[in-house]
Amino acid sequence: MRSCEVLIVGGGPAGSSAARHLKRAGADVLVLDREQFPRLKLCAGWITPEVVRELEMDLDAYPHRLLTFPRLKVHYGRLSFPVPCVQHSIRRFEFDAWLLERSGAPVEQHNVREIVADGDGFIVDGRYRCRYLVGAGGTRCPVYRTLFKEANPRAHELQIVTLEHEIEYRWEDPDCHLWFCDEGLPGYSWYVPKESGWLNVGIGGFAERIKSAGQDIKTHWAHFTDKLGAELTRGAHYDPTGYSYYLRGRVDVVRRDNAFITGDAAGLASRDLGEGIGPAIRSGLRAAAAILDGEPYQLEDVTGMSVASIARSMLTRAAHPFGPYGRRRAADGGAADGLRHGNQ
Ligand SMILES: Cc1cc2nc3c(=O)[nH]c(=O)nc-3n(C[C@H](O)[C@H](O)[C@H](O)COP(=O)(O)OP(=O)(O)OC[C@H]3O[C@@H](n4cnc5c(N)ncnc54)[C@H](O)[C@@H]3O)c2cc1C
């Protein structure tokens, strides 16, 4: 049996952030992930300045594709307006692998199935023994399922259904566009350019509300991509994949004995925009601090709304109207290799 002080289930942004913080403090930590990294992760790949700050990222030194937007283009019905604020795009398979490697923690590929309490610690699948257990396995996290599901049942009205595709495409418009409530979609659609000729397009909305309106996500997708094809993505072909996750609801219990729950496993994505990378990172860091310093594990400062972060970024942008903001490159500025999004 492999023993460690802290076992982290899941090597996404929540798990790798917790791992890095613990490892830097000298803790004996092990990350388990069912996938081999780099792994595919369905995501628009939009990150905020808060994410950059929390991760202590040097944008110029980031070794993969990163694009900076000095504004968002927002569309609502017939209204279209720019929101001057700084945001960035990355490709998730690169970003997550980079974060996990940077954590310095050992990683094993293992699909966690069974978690059993053992004194003040846990035994996982009869193979791993730990004192502390961090659940960072995303929506289907086995730590959530075993230890937290009863205390924090997921609210069906907060379930989001999505369709997206990241394609190799020589985009011409370098701005990030968001369309809210288009054709009655209870959510929004996005066009997110990536550096070096990649583009992510997708839609997401409340599953129950789409169903009760007698609609389905595929019809919304068809409408959206027809519209894009006429304006921004002429000649593009899509083969979208769907994924479902939960927005921030009541999360009453985030720690049970020496087990912690973080990121999507706890359902922390923001209520307004479904932004989950920032909350995952922050909750991972808070869980690590609680383990190291014995601080209470609280998620009060893990905001459930993205609009506050956008407003802060607007103020910073207004104070520094000419930047520098980060990286802004042409669509064709480099190699266009990478993993194709497939089923997940
Ligand atoms: C279509 C779509 C677009 C999105 N766009 C954005 C965006 O642009 N910006 C943003 O901030 N958020 C976005 N989100 C949300 C964001 O992707 C998530 O909130 C974020 O990835 C959560 O991070 P996490 O570390 O909690 O979980 P994850 O990133 O899901 O990582 C969990 C890890 O756990 C592993 N795992 C799962 N089960 C097991 C198991 N049994 N054993 C071992 N390992 C396991 C998985 O392989 C995975 O690597 C989007 C989500 C979707 C679906």
What are 38-60's pLDDT values in tens digits? 999 999 999 999 999 999 999 99
Q: Across residues 1-9, what is the average pLDDT?
A: 98
The predicted pLDDT at position 324 comes to 63
The predicted pLDDT at position 334 comes to 41
**Closest atom of ligand 1 to CA, residue 163:** 1
What strands, in cross-sheet order, belong to the sheet with 72-76?
Answer: 79-83, 72-76, 176-180, 187-194, 198-206, 159-168, 241-246
Distance between CA atoms of 245 and 283, rounded to whole angstroms? 17
Among all chains, which residue has been given the structure tokens 């921030």?
248
Q: Across residues 146-156, what is the average pLDDT?
A: 95
Residue, of 189 and 70, whose pLDDT is higher: 189
The predicted pLDDT at position 114 comes to 98
Alpha carbon of 265 to ligand 1 centroid (Å): 9
Residue type for position 308: A
The predicted pLDDT at position 303 comes to 74
Alpha carbon of 57 to ligand 1 centroid (Å): 20
The predicted pLDDT at position 281 comes to 97
User: Is the shortest distance between the CB of 245 and ligand 1 below 6 Å?
Assistant: yes
Indicate which residue's Cα is closest to atom 27 of ligand 1: 138
Whether residue 336 has pLDDT greater than 70: no
Lowest mean pLDDT, pick from 60-69, 137-146, 215-224, 304-313: 304-313
User: Is the shortest distance between the CB of 240 and ligand 1 below 6 Å?
Assistant: no
Question: What is the overall mean pLDDT for the chain?
Answer: 91
Contact 14, 265 (CB under 8 A): yes
**pLDDT-derived band of residue 335, with 50, 70 and 90 as boundaries?**
very low
Within the chain, strands assigned E span 2-9, 29-33, 46-47, 66-69, 72-76, 79-83, 87-90, 107-109, 115-118, 121-124, 128-135, 159-168, 176-180, 187-194, 198-206, 241-246, 255-256, 259-261
The phi, psi pair for 238, rounded to 5°, reads: -125, 150
Q: Which of 235, 304, 315, 295 is nearest to 274 (CA)?
A: 304
Q: Which of 242, 247, 160 is nearest to 202 (CA)?
A: 242
User: pLDDT, tens digit, for every residue of 202-220?
Assistant: 999 999 999 999 999 999 9
Quote the distance between the C-alpha of residue 312 and its chain's center: 20
**pLDDT-derived band of residue 308, with 50, 70 and 90 as boundaries?**
confident
- Give me the DSSP letters along 100-154: HHHH---EEE-----EEEETTEEEETTTEEEEEEEE--GGG-HHIIIIITTTSPP
Alpha carbon of 172 to ligand 1 centroid (Å): 29
The predicted pLDDT at position 306 comes to 81
Lowest mean pLDDT, pick from 23-27, 180-184, 208-212, 312-316: 312-316
Q: What percent of the chain has pLDDT over 70?
A: 93
Whether residue 125 has pLDDT greater than 50: yes
Q: Across residues 119-129, what is the average pLDDT?
A: 97
Q: Which of 124, 109, 111, 96 is nearest to 17 (CA)?
A: 96
Q: Coil, strand or helix: which one is 223?
A: helix
The predicted pLDDT at position 323 comes to 66
**Token digits of residue 299:** 């998620």
The predicted pLDDT at position 305 comes to 80
The predicted pLDDT at position 344 comes to 27
The CA-based angle 177-182-185, given to 5 degrees, is: 115
